[in-house]
Amino acid sequence: MDFNREIIGACHSIVKEAEAIIDYTHRLNETQSDAMRQVYSDNRMDELPHIQNLVVALTALLNGEEPDAAAQMDEDESGGADDE
């Protein structure tokens, strides 16, 4: 496995998820609708498990190990979101 390639990919995915949180935060600031405020707030929180999963995977990769896919799948089954 090319760990450097996987590390770069994981970092790009983390940035993408963080940018989604930024986007939802901007939308929260701009909306005047309570209903849309709730939608944006919920969507913003939905991004957090993605980032957490990616950071765990990145940590393994930086230690020269393959990420534990079984642990990621367990989290997904318990309500976590899929990785990017």
Mean pLDDT of the chain: 89
Compute the average pLDDT of residues 37-47.
98
A 10 A CB-CB count for 47 gives: 19
Q: Can you give the residue ranges of every domain in the chain?
A: 3-77
Q: Is the CB of residue 51 less than 8 Å from the CB of residue 14? A: yes
Give, to the nearest 10 degrees, the angle between helix 34-62 and helix 69-77.
160
The string of pLDDT tens digits covering residues 43-57 is: 999 999 999 999 999
Cα separation, 21 vs 35, in Å, equals: 18
The string of pLDDT tens digits covering residues 6-25 is: 999 999 999 999 999 999 99
Compute the average pLDDT of residues 21-44.
98
